[in-house]
A and B are shown apart, each in its own frame.
Chain A
Amino acid sequence: MTGRTTGLKAAAAIGVLAVGLAACGGGSGGSGGSDDGKPKKGGTLKLVGAGGQDNLDPTSAYSTTSSALQRTYARQLFAYPASKDPKAASTPVPDAAAEMPTMDNGGISKDGLTYKIKVRQGIMWDTQPARPMVAGDFVRAFKHMCNPASPVGAPNYYVPNIKGMQAYCDPYLKNKKLQQDTKGMEDYENSHDISGVKALDDYTIQFTLTKPASDFISLLGMTFASAVPVEYYKYVPNTPDEFRHLVSAGPYKITVFNPGKQIVLEKNTNWKQDSDPLRHQYVDRIEVTEGQESPETVQQQLEGGNADISLDQPVPASALGRLAKSNDPNLTVNGPPISNPYLVFNFKSPNANKAMSKLKVRQAIEYAINKVALARIYGGPKYNTPLNTVIPPDSVGYQDYNLYPTNGSQGDPAKCKSMLAEAGYPNGFKIKAAYRQAGNHPAIFQSYAQDMKACGITVEGVPVPQADFYTQFLQKTDNTTAGKWDVAAPGWVPDWFGNNGRAVVSPLFDGRNWADGTSNYGDYDSPITNGLIDKALTAKTVDEASNYWHQADQQIMKDAAIVPFMAQKTPWYHSSRVKGATWLPIAQQFDYTNLWLSGSGS
């Protein structure tokens, strides 16, 4: 869901999305000081940003911006609570489900293949007259995922894992004739069933999986799996016509949709507080103004009080130092942290006598890097901390350990040098480092290049335009095998947090099926790691999965496939009248349904 489009297009179907976090810092705990007080009702929340790639269709939308807006009108069986504790905020809880299924309460079968989920009663669609949300609306959600007009953003999360879904989807997806035919799509969905998704009664839904998946609750917590009302059959999915007629089940509904310019949401009068454990209806209106692409301008508007929250633009790097220095209470630094950026090695490169394919060389570089200096580029310890593991804190599988310790994480050029000599490079060598020409990326390149130089490695910079960095450069296997780069510092924002090995370790480090479009950029391929990934993905419980993910983490670090730089939190700013802002990690945005405006509002 959260097709991490913090500035980039959503990545491929794998579902996780490499991001061009142009200027993200990361930081320490929740939001600033004492902004709470008693929630107040009323006022118009003003969002401003670039916008322009609006997809508000819950099934197919794959961007953080869209996820944040969908929080106000789409409901999933499980969703994330508003919390200042990053761990709680990234652990799904029942939303449209009545309770959390477990093996103990019989909701999950002992073999981990069947999920029986009770649907909460009393949730009303914004229809005249009000109609209750039922289990069938979720069955429809899964059928709708394979509509040929605008299918689910990340099919691999669902189609291979739910019994019968592949058979249901294959002919439907390929039927291009149905692309503009709403009646045809409705007929197909009504006359075909997914054997693994059944409504046992109006308020019970049952899923049957092809293999155990301890993160299935997380998958149900993505906006892709939002309930789909029958009214959606009237419109071609992912069109402005559909967006203007979305049927809300949350506290707000879309009343104005003007592509690339403005979106207005107003109160949904059918929504009742007691049917929603996660959201509130504090502000009267939410107004989205699009077309503002400069992070600096957006920041000025927020600080000046002309707007309240940035829709999609990061806090500009140039403002981070100033805001930290002045201890601005409206700056929040939000977790869980992500590993961004990190150094990836090109195992396929022929350069410098295949230096990058040699374990000793990669391990030497692990010792060379001054992680403190890198962290300072993103604002220093207020925003991020040096990271030594593949999985960052607050994600499943994280355990603190460090295979390549250096004094104060500041790097050890002497150790690097001696290891390079052992590896057969007493006089160093020359490599190519690809970096994005945007935001902090040239700075990151300069910082690690200085560390490598101190170790005797000459680094030639290969600047790549931001827009081409992933799809046209790192993800092209021809570039990789030709040695057009030896190291690069990509970023990654997982599609969800918590139990998310499927969205992090699996796409980045599974060495099988290496091909164009891969996110395992340098073709790291270890049979041990691949095996651990399989075990983790099919584990029956989170604890079991967590253990395998940690083992995979250790194996990857042992093989020195990457150099983690920092666990980076996300700085986000709001105007001084916004109170009670809590971070929604899955949307990389404040929860619009849990904040309120101080003063008289307007």
Chain B
Amino acid sequence: MSLTDLEAEASVPPASEEPDGRKIEGRSPWQLAWARLRKDKAAMISVVVIVLLIVMALLAPLIAKWVGYAPDFGDRKLGQTVDGLPVGPNGHHVLGTDRFGRDILVRSVYGARVSLLVGLVSTVLAVVLGVIIGASAGFYGGAIDTILARAMDVTLSFPYLLFALALAAGFGASVPLTIFVITFFSFASIGRIVRGQVLQIKEREFIEAARSLGAGSIRTMFIDVIPNLIAPVTVLGSMTIPTAIIFESTLSFLGAGTDPRTPTWGNMLSDATQSYTVAWWTLFVPAAFLLITTLAFNILGDAVRDALDPRSERLFAAQKANRKKKRK
């Protein structure tokens, strides 16, 4: 799980892998991980999808300008029937409209902004917070550990949805509040795992060596411990992003995420409950965007874990290996 393992593995390249007498190259563990990641086709497709989503989110205003409708503009002439029903995909509104006559395409594109912003920012905050608290708890131990670990346990035992709804009711729904809520409920699970890792690492010989050479706590922490956390934390982070995106959509769906006019996928899905029986596109389009985004981040997260920790074989990989053995 940790970089030290990878180093150990990389430093003893098995000779059997060089049957054609290729030159033996020294590769860093990160290079090895990257090489493994690149071979994973699903991961590469996910990367492309995520890059496209990010580009789309960044270019949202340009797309809106090109389509001709602002995200919160209800087109009451072309985007609504006289009975107030949404209009299906057509020349004016490529992916149709919702029941206010707002363009589904433009809103979905803007929705990517909120989802990605909330997903990435709250994950970064959760990771930073989780590492600081988890590492402090694990490294210092004693009373500090007791207090911080219990605090994380308490956080994890909160009924997070009720808490989020109550906060939204009290302070008014907004993007910063959503980010706060997601960060608050994600940092603890990261922090707990980090704490466990640190407890392991600090018993290792190289830490003892550093200590015996006179390294102080701060130096040991930043030079020797934290770098060894990068791999597990990267994996945790990449798995937290899709959870955060789903959580944001859930909050919006329940009316506790953002102002209902803000184009988010959750808000769009919430609106769609009123109209999907007569207008499938109001449900389908935001749901598809949400599915694709979370799927891409999940697959990528999986692949990153596999790449950084090759010992945790995936089920299919293991089966394949077994089959090969049998054939021999």
Q: Which residues of A contact B (CB under 8 A)?
A: 317-319, 321-322, 324-325, 370, 372-373, 375-382, 410, 437, 442-443, 445-447, 449-450, 453, 461-463, 465
Contact = CB atoms under 8 A, between A and B. Distances in A.
B259 interface: yes
A443 B83 contact: no
Given A325-B278, A380-B82, A461 B260 contact: yes
A442 B76 CA distance: 17
Given A445-B260, A461-B261, A379 B255 contact: no
Contacts of B73: 450
Contacts of B82: 376, 380-381
Interface in B52-85: 72-74, 76, 80-85
Contacts of B305: none
A318 B86 CA distance: 12
B140 to A, nearest CB: 43
A321 B74 contact: no
Nearest to B101: A373
Nearest to A25: B84
B83 A381 contact: yes
B252 to A, nearest CB: 12
Contact of A376 (B83, B169, B172, B259): B83
Contact of A325 (B83, B101, B173, B260): B83
Given A445-B260, A461-B261, A318 B84 contact: no
B93 interface: no
Contacts of A462: 172
A449 B76 CA distance: 14
B277 interface: yes
Interface of B: 72-74, 76, 80-85, 99-101, 168-169, 172-173, 255, 259-261, 271, 273-278
B72 A450 contact: yes
A376 B259 CA distance: 21
B277 A318 contact: yes
28 contacts: A318-B273, A318-B276, A319-B277, A321-B83, A321-B84, A321-B85, A321-B275, A321-B278, A370-B76, A373-B74, A373-B80, A373-B100, A375-B84, A376-B80, A376-B84, A377-B84, A378-B84, A379-B83, A380-B82, A380-B83, A380-B84, A442-B255, A446-B72, A446-B260, A461-B260, A462-B172, A463-B172, A463-B255
Given A321-B278, A462-B172, A377 B99 contact: yes
Nearest to B168: A463
B278 A447 contact: no
Given A321-B275, A325-B278, A447 B83 contact: no
A325 B85 contact: yes
Contact of B76 (A322, A325, A372): A372
B100 A443 contact: yes
A142 B82 CA distance: 50
Contacts of A449: 261
A449 B261 CA distance: 9
A161 B168 CA distance: 47
Given A443-B100, A445-B260, A446-B261, A324 B83 contact: yes
Contacts of A381: 82-83
Nearest to B260: A442
Contacts of A443: 99-100, 271, 274
B76 A410 contact: yes
A465 B81 CA distance: 30
Contacts of A376: 76, 80, 82-84, 99
Given A318-B275, A373-B100, 13 more contacts: A318-B276, A321-B275, A376-B99, A377-B99, A379-B84, A380-B81, A382-B83, A443-B99, A446-B72, A447-B100, A450-B74, A462-B172, A465-B169
Nearest to B274: A318
B83 A437 contact: no
A317 B274 contact: yes
B277 A322 contact: yes
A376 B168 CA distance: 29
Contacts of A322: 277-278
A442 B267 CA distance: 11
Contacts of A379: 83-84
A442 B101 CA distance: 15
Contacts of B278: 321-322, 325
A375 B73 CA distance: 17
A437 B255 contact: yes
A446 B100 CA distance: 9
A382 B255 CA distance: 29
A599 B172 CA distance: 54
A380 B101 CA distance: 14
Contacts of B84: 321, 375-380
A496 B280 CA distance: 41
A447 B72 CA distance: 10
The 5 closest A-B pairs by CB, nearest first: A376-B84, A380-B83, A380-B84, A442-B260, A321-B85
Contacts of A317: 274
Nearest to A454: B73
A380 B17 CA distance: 73
Nearest to A324: B83
A381 B83 CA distance: 6
A282 to B, nearest CB: 34
Contacts of B101: 373
Contact of A447 (B74, B85, B173): B74
Nearest to B277: A322
Interface centre among B80, B82, B84, B172 (most CB of A within 10 A): B84
B73 to A, nearest CB: 7
Contacts of B274: 317-318, 443
Interface centre among A322, A370, A375, A442 (most CB of B within 10 A): A442
B164 to A, nearest CB: 14
